[in-house]
Structure 1
Amino acid sequence: MSRRVPAAETLLVVAVLLAGAACGSRLPESDFERRGTAPAPAGGAPVRVGIITSATSPVGGAAFTGPRDGAKAYFDRLNARGGIEGRRVEVRTCDDGGSGVGNNDCVHRLVEEQKVAALVATSSLDYAGAARVSRAGVPDIGGQPIGAAYETYPHLYGIYGSLAPRDGKPGWDGELYGGTEVYRYFKREQGARTAAVVSYNQAASAAYARLVTRGLRAEGYKVVTEQVDFALPNFRAAAADLKEQGADLVFDAMDTHGNARLCEAMDDVGAKVTAKVTNVQNWTSSVGDDYKDAPRCRNALWATGSSRNYEDTGHPAVREFRAALRGKALSQWHLEGWAAAMWFTDAAKSCLSGGGGDVTRACVDAFMNRNKPYSARGLLIPVTYEHRAEPPTTRRTCLSVARWRDGEGWVTQGDMNEQCFDVPQLAYQP
């Protein structure tokens, strides 16, 4: 069994970029925060980690903070239980403001000045400092692949794994590869045959829509493409057309606001679909509010990803996560940030095992390079890192799927470790 090489996750930032463009821009800010400065327990000096987040980016304050908050919750709980072999984890956070300049500043502060052992749960709109992190030999663990950095540089370990050489160029000679497992799932498990892809007449949105369209056609779908004006979108016309064309599925290359308006239009014209498919970034508890004016479409929302549904309370690792974040709005990115922090912790424990070691960058990196799948106690579809000289043409990939139900939230659909498909891997440029 293999885990995914997800094109969708790598390009999911298209949607939030569009949200930022719609809302206007503002000057980026960079805010360096220090956390966990209490005295270390008797076990030894604190273990220092860094978290870089585009918390005040032009996209908005909540777009990228989920991984950071999930990781911090894990470390808070870990410290309350005595830390790592008696050593407290000292978390240093840095807001890069969503800019390349701000990101380089964060890298300088955390990597070069503060000498963190590792970065954890990075979620940066513009990871301009990635090459500096790699040159310093600092492991970056469980970051979100918003750009191509985790498919480009050694010592960077994104939350979804990689097969690429990571020799300083993205993927294989500048091309990344992603599978068609999402489209295969809805075809085989839900009987879908016709899919609509809705995008803006904007370059990034249109490019992502072309990638989705290509994958759908590779799986034998009839594809209906709908493009709306970015400034003055006519969602009702698009909804009416996809209804007339008999679409079973709706995919999009739009922001959350655009998705909500499309859903409202679909309800208005009576368009009924098997699934309105979204990605892990929109797998949140705020769906009820975001789609409050589109009840029928809201209950047709499905999300796909590579981590266990945060609503899966029958799983002990999920229960532990939810207990730590009790009372807070939850998202799948929170859970993946939590898993990233767990991953670093397991690496640090390996460094301290036997009582004679220390949590060094090299030791943590060696753990990450063991070439063994990692599942974060079952929270992740097992993640692997390899350095294949040639890209895969096909791969067996597994999929986590959930659908929204009012009153229940996100309801898990099938076992993510058994919901696997042998699918082609399609090349695309980041």
Structure 2
Amino acid sequence: MGVLYTDDNPLAVSPELRDAALAAGQHINANGGIGGRQVEIVPCNGKNNPESNVKCATQFVNDGVVSVVGLDTQWGDNGVSIMERAGVVNQTVPLSHAEFASAVSFPLAGSTLTGGNAVAEYAARKSVKRASCIYPDTAVLKAACVDNFAPKAKELGIEDVQLIALPPTVTDVSQYVAKAAQSKAELVYSPASKQADVRMIQAAGQVGFSPEWVFSGSVAQPDFFSTLGDDAKNVVFWFDNKMWTVTGEPDVDVFNSVLEQHAPGSPINNNVVTVFSTLMTLKELGDTAGGDKMTRAELPDLLRGFGQVHQFMGPELDTSRHLPDFPTAYHTGSYLYKWDGGAFVPAGDGFFQFDTAS
């Protein structure tokens, strides 16, 4: 199993994805492997640049990888096509069209597609009439606002949806927050980085602007809350899977125990859970179907026709229900949680289901 992560990049680093995959691999192997076959985790640093992503794809092919998990913003344009030619299943966090639509793509996350839909549903149910979406001006993150959030918000009756592009390397975000304030946005959604999200809340506070903020669960980390203090209260986050702080959930207990044992101190966020969840769900499928199905030749057919399965720390998956236009994208919803100042609590209905196709 290949795991794609990012390091050595000033815009974003995610070595915790490697840590989560290695921890999951140790847990899986200590519990019979996948269908009786031991798992080898093959990490590769994509560095958020095209050349490194091509090198990672080539390494995964040459090392006999069967499926790839993880995340890199450049993977969709540079790695997925290589996976497709080699027949390697792609299960990275889907940030691009290719990561949803390729013949070898079987994402067990909806990422910004289901996340944006969930935020729009949440806002509409709260009778929000004016909303802003502030996005880093890159193709992937622009789509999170322009293609995923705004159309659904307008469809659901949100009258004014303002789209605000943020230069990817900007550090002073005050003028962009001011645009949202001038529009009197009641809710501001942003798929930006943790650093940018912190700066936006701080800039809003300086001008007395206090909308409801909604961010990706990847930024819901301890230093986000320690930096903002009381200003982080009531911020909403979308997650592909259940929060690692949920109590009374056996999957969550397993996740926390394994991370504590095999990756102590490694950060936990939405994407970490997605990597771990995908590997554990593959174990569930392989244990049921048999280890002989976990090959490049057999795994795609297994993933097309498994029927129903419980996704680890996630919803029930059903191969007869999928995201519109993406027949192998079976993860069709997002969880929303709000930080109440001391803990995460479900926001609105908690789980928001995308309109699915069959």
Q: TM-score with structure 1 length normalisation? A: 0.68
- Residue equivalent to 1:9: none
Select which of 246, 252, 257 maps to 1:323: 257
- Measure how far apart 1:248 and its partner are: 1.8
Separation in 1 of the partners of 2:179 and 2:4?
43
Q: Which residue of 1 aligns with 2:316?
A: 382
1:220 aligns with 2:172: no
Say which SS state the counterpart of residue 106 (structure 2) adopts. Answer: strand
Q: Distance in 1 between matches of 2:179 and 2:40?
A: 54
Superposed, 1:73-112 pairs within 5 Å as 73-84=23-34, 87-112=37-62
Q: Is the 8 Å Cα contact of residues 344 and 364 (structure 1) preserved in structure 2?
A: no
Which residue in 2 is equivalent to 1:288? 225
CA gap 1:87/1:285 in 2 versus in 1, 3 angstroms = same
Look up the match of 2:13: 61
Q: Which amino acid aligns with 1:119?
A: S
Distance 1:85 1:421 in 2: 32
Partner of 1:269: 207
Q: Is the 8 A contact 2:193 2:219 kept in 1?
A: no
Contact 1:120–1:341 at 8 Å: present in 2 too? no
Q: CA deviation at 1:77?
A: 1.4
Equivalent residues in 2 for 1:6-405, closer than 5 Å: 49-57=1-9, 59-62=11-14, 65-84=15-34, 87-112=37-62, 114-116=63-65, 118-127=66-75, 128-140=78-90, 142-160=91-109, 180-188=117-125, 190-199=126-135, 209-211=145-147, 212-221=149-158, 222-224=160-162, 235-236=173-174, 238-239=176-177, 242-243=180-181, 245-252=183-190, 254-273=192-211, 275-289=212-226, 292=227, 294-326=228-260, 327-328=264-265, 329-352=267-290, 357=292, 359-370=294-305, 372-377=307-312, 379-384=313-318, 391=325, 398-405=333-340
When residues 210 and 230 of structure 1 are mapped into structure 2, their CA distance, relative to the original with a 3 A threshold, is same
Per-residue deviation, 1:246: 3.8
2:133 corresponds to which letter in structure 1? V
Aligned-residue offset at 1:303: 0.8
User: What is the Cα deviation at residue 231 of structure 1?
Assistant: 7.0
Letter in 2 for 1:185: Y
CA offsets 1:342-387 (integer angstroms, 9 cap, x no match)? 122233324537xxx464222322221115244324x223345579
Q: Retained in 2: the 8 A contact 1:267–1:296?
A: no
In structure 2, do the counterparts of structure 1 residues 347 and 241 end up closer, same or farther at CA, with 3 Å as the change threshold? closer
Counterpart of 1:41 in structure 2 is none
The alpha-carbon distance between structure 1 residues 66 and 415, as it changes in their structure 2 partners (threshold 3 A), is farther
CA offsets 1:106-162 (integer angstroms, 9 cap, x no match): 2222223x223x12323123221322222222223x311122222232122112369
Q: Could you tell me how far apart the structure 2 residues matched to 1:399 and 1:270 are? A: 31
Q: Is the 8 A contact 2:133 2:188 kept in 1?
A: yes
Q: Secondary structure at the match of 1:308?
A: coil
Q: Deviations over 1:216-263 (max 9, x none)?
A: 322222334556677777644554564565432112354332221110
Cα distance change, pair 104–286 in 1 and its aligned pair in 2 (3 A): same
- 1:309 deviates by 1.6
Seen in structure 2, the aligned counterparts of structure 1 residues 358 and 309 have a Cα distance that, compared at 3 Å, is closer
Task: Describe the shift of the 1:365–1:200 C-alpha distance in structure 2 as closer, same or farther (beyond 3 A).
Answer: closer
In 2, are the aligned partners of 1:249 and 1:276 still within 8 Å (CA)? yes
Q: Give the unaligned 5+ runs of structure 1.
A: 1-48, 163-175, 425-430
Contact 2:9 2:48 in 1 (8 A): yes
Task: Measure, in 2, the Cα distance between the counterparts of 1:203 and 1:132.
Answer: 21
User: Highest Rg: 1 or 2?
Assistant: 1
What is the one-letter code of the residue matched to 1:132?
Answer: I
Structure 2: distance between partners of 1:179 and 1:157: 20
Deviation at 1:264, TM superposition (A): 0.7
Q: 1:57 to 1:149 in 2, by over 3 A?
A: farther
Q: What is the CA deviation profile of residues 265-313 of structure 1, one whole-angstrom value per residue up to 9, with x for unaligned ones? A: 222222222x201123323343224xx1x44431131112331122112
Matched position secondary structure for 2:42 = strand
Structure 1 pair 245–335 and aligned structure 2 pair: CA distance change class (3 A): same
Q: Percent identity?
A: 20
1:177 to 1:240, Cα distance in 2 relative to 1, 3 A: closer
The 8 Å contact of residues 179 and 423 in structure 1, kept in 2 or not, is answered as no
1:98/1:386 Cα in 2 relative to 1: closer, same or farther (>3 Å)? farther
For the Cα contact (< 8 Å) 1:197–1:226, is it kept in 2? yes
Deviations 1:18-57 (A, max 9, x none): xxxxxxxxxxxxxxxxxxxxxxxxxxxxxxx222333334
TM-score (norm 2): 0.80
Does the 8 Å CA contact 1:53/1:94 hold for their aligned counterparts? yes
C-alpha contact 2:135 2:141 (8 A) present in aligned 1:
yes
Letter of the 2:129 counterpart? R
Equivalent residue letter for 1:125: T
